[in-house]
């Protein structure tokens, strides 16, 4: 079955700097890769996603890149702000089982 | 729509007691997922349903866990008997169509503490 690995587990950046979180997946049948943000005590919420027919997608300060050959995808946050502090989860959707498998999360702390 | 609704938001119980968590998915969504979140294991998929039918329960940790979806607007996750290691936040999420990948809409979660 699908396995998703996420790194780093924690990340601290200065306000205004960029943050990058990386994930790898194992099942080549996966073709949809969402990213969720979870603030303390809240539910995970989708912030951006990418499908396997696209290499990069951008939404304001957030971008995601996908390398299907290497089976990895990354979240890029530019000009970080304190409100970006949260736990970020990557996930992969397995088209064979319809499962959404999540990475273990990255706790991002933006220092003012 | 009010989104995915879960109850209770918090549950504190003693070891050995039965726990029932409830979920109302977004109207019109035909797939429903139960996840468990802990610091150590992150978000684990327990079971998911399509059109009220369980598709895969391989993530259910053991026979003490069971889940049902009697109709399109209601699902339950039951733990009997509960144990301290079951303490976690349990999330329910729904999605419009299981065969079309897209956003999972999560409920607020049910925080379970087993003493």
**DSSP sequence for B72-106:** TTEEEEEESS--GGG-EEEEEEEES-TTS----EE
Residues B76-80 have a mean pLDDT of: 98
Residues of A in Cβ contact (< 8 Å) with B103? 34, 46, 49
Q: Measured between CB atoms, does B70 come within 8 Å of chain A?
A: no
**Nearest CB neighbour to A98, from listed B43, B98, B107:** B98
Cβ proximity of A46 and B106 under 8 Å: no
Shortest Cα distance from A105 to chain B (angstroms)? 7
pLDDT on residue A83: 96
Is the CB of A42 less than 8 angstroms away from the CB of B48? no
**What pLDDT score was predicted for residue B46?**
97
CA A81 to chain centre: 17
pLDDT band at residue A64 using 50, 70 and 90 as cut-offs: very high
State the smallest CA–CA distance between residue B101 and chain A in angstroms. Answer: 6
Spatial separation of the C-alpha atoms in residues A98 and B32, rounded to whole Å: 11
Would you tell me how many other CB atoms lie within 10 Å of the CB of residue A105? 22
User: ∠ at Cα B70 (B68, B71), nearest 5°?
Assistant: 130
Looking at the partner chain, which of B43, B56, B109 has a beta carbon nearest the beta carbon of A97?
Answer: B56
Per DSSP, B25 falls in state P
CA distance B36 to B28: 24
Q: Are B63 and B42 in contact (CB under 8 A)?
A: no
pLDDT at residue B12 tops 90: yes
- Distance between B44 CA and the closest CA of chain A, angstroms: 7
Query: Distance of CA A26 to CAs A1, A74, A93, B87, Å?
Result: 8, 15, 11, 29
Pair of tokens at residue B114? 């087993």
Across chain A, mean pLDDT equals 95
Peptide bond into B53 cis (omega under 30): no
Let me know the angle formed at the C-alpha of B64 by A102 and B67, rounded to the nearest 5 degrees: 60
Per-residue model confidence (pLDDT) at position A31:
92
Which of A52, A48, A51 minimizes the C-alpha distance to A63? A48
Average pLDDT over chain B reads 95
Give dist(CA B79, CA B65) in Å, integer. Answer: 5
Q: Does the pLDDT of residue B1 top 80, yes or no?
A: no
Quick one: average pLDDT of B80-106? 95
Closest Cα in chain B, distance from residue A7 (Å): 13
Which of B98, B104, B108 is the best mutation test for A, with the most CBs of A within 10 A?
A: B104
Distance CA A74, CA A64 (A): 5
The sign of the dihedral angle between the CA atoms of B104, B28, A53, B48 is: positive
Predicted pLDDT at A28:
87
Task: Report yes or no: A10 and A75 within 8 Å, Cβ to Cβ.
Answer: no
For B22-76, the pLDDT digits (tens) are 999 999 999 999 999 998 889 999 999 999 999 999 999 889 999 999 999 999 9
Q: How confident is the model at residue B2 (pLDDT cuts 50, 70, 90)?
A: confident
């Amino acid at each position: 079955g699908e396995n998703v690995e996420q790194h780093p587990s924690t990340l601290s950046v200065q306000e205004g700097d960029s943050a990058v979180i990386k994930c790898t997946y194992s099942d080549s049948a996966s073709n949809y890769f969402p990213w969720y943000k979870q603030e303390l005590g809240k539910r995970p919420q989708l912030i951006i996603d990418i499908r396997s027919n696209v290499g990069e997608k951008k939404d304001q300060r957030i971008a995601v890149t996908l390398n299907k050959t290497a089976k990895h995808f990354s979240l890029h946050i530019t000009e970080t702000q304190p409100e970006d502090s949260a736990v970020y989860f990557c996930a992969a959707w397995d088209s064979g089982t319809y499962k959404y498998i999540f990475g273990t999360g990255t706790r991002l702390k933006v220092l003012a | 729509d009010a989104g995915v609704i879960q109850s209770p938001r918090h549950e504190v119980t003693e070891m050995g007691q039965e726990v029932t968590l409830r979920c109302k998915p977004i109207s019109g969504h035909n797939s429903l997922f139960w996840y468990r979140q802990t610091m150590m294991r992150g978000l684990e998929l327990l079971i998911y349903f399509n059109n009220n039918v369980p598709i895969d329960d391989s993530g259910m940790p053991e026979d003490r866990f069971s889940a049902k979806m009697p109709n399109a607007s209601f699902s339950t996750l039951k733990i009997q008997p509960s144990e301290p290691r079951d303490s976690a936040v349990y999330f329910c999420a729904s999605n419009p169509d299981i065969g079309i990948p897209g956003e999972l809409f999560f409920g607020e979660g049910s925080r379970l503490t087993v003493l």
